[in-house]
Amino acid sequence: MRAPNDDLLPREFPGGRLRRLRTADLPAFQAYRALPELGRYQGWSPMADAEALAFLSEMSEAPLFAPGRWVQLGIAAAASDGLVGDIGIHLSDDGFTGEIGFTLAPASQGRGIATAAVRQALQVLVASTAVAQVLGITDGRNAASIRLLERLGFAPRESRELVFRGERCREQIYALRPERVGTAR
């Protein structure tokens, strides 16, 4: 049985597609998630193959979107449908705040693919929920991530000092109102 809102995926954009993750993505997923430069500012750490396979299987049919839960979607190359990145989307317990995080393999960077895929993910989120804002929370040193958020219309909301993986850093919270996202249906 298809999960609610699954008719909103896949979503095509120039150069790629936003789609469900699947277990066949394991080799590609593990290859880019093992790269230290991709995980440096992220909440996740590389997983063992068995854990990653279970994660991909769970995400292949996780609901879009459940309050208090993250769901991870895949970014795939247009021609091959091979996985080149992923996007995590969280819905708050009250359903009014979304949060988004994103990762793109280095070979696919620098062409607007992540920006286009995140735009599609935002459209799906806004079409399926009652979110009144979407947050993008990023390390202040993560310039590529900040540029991506700003390209999509996210505005700086606040920043806070914290210690992440033993290093002092400043976390920047960006916010976007749903009316800036456009429509999905």
Ligand X SMILES: CC(C)(COP(=O)(O)OP(=O)(O)OC[C@H]1O[C@@H](n2cnc3c(N)ncnc32)[C@H](O)[C@@H]1OP(=O)(O)O)[C@@H](O)C(=O)NCCC(=O)NCCS
Q: Which of 70, 71, 53 is nearest to 6 (CA)?
A: 71
State in angstroms the smallest separation of the CB of 7 from ligand X: 26
Q: Closest CB to ligand X among 54 and 143?
A: 143
State in angstroms the smallest separation of the CB of 137 from ligand X: 7
State in angstroms the smallest separation of the CB of 19 from ligand X: 17
Q: Closest CB to ligand X among 56 and 137?
A: 137
Residue type, 128: S
Q: Which of 19, 32, 6 is nearest to 72 (CA)?
A: 19
Pair of tokens at residue 157:
């909301």
- Contact call for residues 5 and 64 (beta carbons, < 8 A): yes
State in angstroms the smallest separation of the CB of 119 from ligand X: 9
Residues that bind ligand X (CB under 6 A): 38, 41-42, 101-104, 109-115, 138, 142, 144-145, 147-148
Q: Closest CB to ligand X among 120 and 145?
A: 145
Residue in the shown chain whose Cβ atom is closest to ligand X: 112
Neighbours of 38 (CB within 10 A): 18
Strand partners, 75: 18, 85
